[in-house]
Amino acid sequence: MKNILVTGGLGYIGSHTVVALQQAGFQVYIIDDLSNSHLNVWEKITSITNIQPVFYNIDLKDANAVNVFFQSHEIDGVIHFAAYKAVGESVEKPLLYYRNNLLGLMNVLQAMDDYAADHFIFSSSCTVYGQADEMPIHEQTPLKKPESPYGNTKKMGEEIIEDFVKATQKNAIALRYFNPVGAHASGVIGELPSGIPNNLVPYVTQTAMGIRECLGIFGNDYDTRDGTAIRDYIDVNDLADAHVKAMQRLLDKKNQAHLEFFNLGSGTGSTVLEIVHAFEQANGIKIPYEMKPRRAGDIVQAFADYSLAKNQLNWQPTTSLQTSMQTSWKFQQQTEK
Ligand code: WQD
């Protein structure tokens, strides 16, 4: 049985990936500092798979703690989710983001080098493309300076990993997510932002719940079919499946380069209004909204060409937007809020 370390494994995409890894037969170790996740997700994962992952509350900025972990566990592969991810906060506190996201990454990579863990998957983001000139976006699309320090930590992270795997002859895959949405079918785990949600769908579900009074739509004067911005919304369960397939590719040594990049998206662009209407139709709930000025740093449109992941990882999205809207709502209703 292969041992996989999942950093940030109690977070949104991390927890769904832990479930998928366990169900694929991997032994999973979680490191999480609980700065943007909840300890009860550990027992929720266990309740879904009936397998309790090993969990350590470690801050990855503490190199000594990271080394102690690697000294006492034989780790075959690492999936690295742990990072701060609030775009707006990163603009206000850039050093907090560079220190946390990059020092944490480097401590994990250093430990992998010191303790012979050979396979690494990096949670990256379509934000590295900035506002791409052409749609759909493919992996050869030229990168631009991301709109935020958060996005820059993803771009710099990829560059750090590239230099690391070339120097150490290890193997890595960077998965560039578009917009993750949805929740586990059980409704037990899902996206649980702390405070006021930055992202669209959790704001929609909290509005549906009455926690938020009204959804603000940031800009309806974009050059799109209804004036609101376009994104590619990809179900979190499909993302989890892609991580398992990517790790298997590395373990089977099928990778064709020391660092490979794959876009993970649905391939379809949806406007903000189309997402609101999709949620309303999927759940039979009216969402009150009002138009607001554009949000600083937002791009107009992004949607993925995922053909490389389809061909190389044998992966494709299988979850409909309607299902993602239903599972998001089911999770919100089951969450003690
Ligand atoms: C989507 C659209 C908003 C909230 C960011 C990161 C990306 C990833 C996902 C972490 C935009 C609009 C939103 C609201 C709105 N990060 N919106 N009202 O900004 O595309 O991507 O989060 O995993 O790396 O860049 O996602 O959900 O914030 O916004 O109108 O209350 O919804 O303007 O057009 P974004 P988002």
Q: Between 148 and 64, where is the model more confident?
A: 64
Report angle CA 263, 313, 29 to the nearest 5 degrees.
90
Q: Which is nearest to 264 in space by CA: 244, 248, 250?
A: 244
Enter the pTM of the model: 0.97
CB atoms within 10 A of CB 9: 30
Distance CA 304, CA 280 (A): 25
Q: Is the pLDDT of residue 305 over 90?
A: yes
Nearest CA, atom 26, ligand 1: 199
Sort strands 27-32 and 54-57 into parallel, antiparallel or unpaired: parallel
Tell me how far apart the 2 most distant CA atoms of the chain are, in Å: 56
Number of structural domains in the chain: 1
Looking at residue 88, its pLDDT comes to 86
Q: Is 150 one of the annotated active-site residues of the chain?
A: yes
Distance CA 44, CA 53 (A): 11
Q: Among residues 84, 97, 129, 150, which one is catalytic?
A: 150
Residue 193 belongs to some domain of the structure: no
- Angle at which helices 200-208 and 272-283 pack, to 10 degrees? 40
Nearest CA, atom 15, ligand 1: 217
Residue 205 belongs to some domain of the structure: no
E strand map for the chain: 3-7, 27-32, 54-57, 77-80, 119-125, 171-177, 179-181, 215-218, 230-231, 233-235, 259-264, 270-271, 289-292
CA atoms within 13 A on the CB side of 17: 32
Which ranges of 178-320 does DSSP label H, i.e. alpha helix?
200-208, 236-251, 272-283, 307-312
Residue 191 belongs to some domain of the structure: no
Q: What are phi and psi of 210, to 5 degrees?
A: 85, 5
Residue 139 belongs to some domain of the structure: yes
Residue 258 belongs to some domain of the structure: yes
Nearest CA, atom 1, ligand 1: 200
Residue 63 belongs to some domain of the structure: yes
What is the CA(198)–ligand 1 centre distance, in A?
Answer: 7
pLDDT digits (tens, 9 = 90+) for 62-89: 999 999 999 999 999 999 999 999 888 9
What is the CA(68)–ligand 1 centre distance, in A?
Answer: 37
Substitution candidate for ligand 1 out of 128, 200, 207 with most atoms within 8 A of CB = 200
Residue 248 belongs to some domain of the structure: yes
The arrangement of strands across the sheet holding 27-32 comes to 54-57, 27-32, 3-7, 77-80, 119-125, 171-177, 259-264
Q: Which domain holds residue 59?
A: 3-184+234-265+305-317
Residue 337 belongs to some domain of the structure: no
Looking at residue 9, its pLDDT comes to 98
CATH number at residue 258: 3.40.50.720
Q: Is the pLDDT of residue 337 over 70?
A: no
Looking at 80-84, 112-116, 145-149, 245-249, which range is the least confident one? 145-149
Please report where in the chains the tokens 């560079």 appear, as a residue: 98
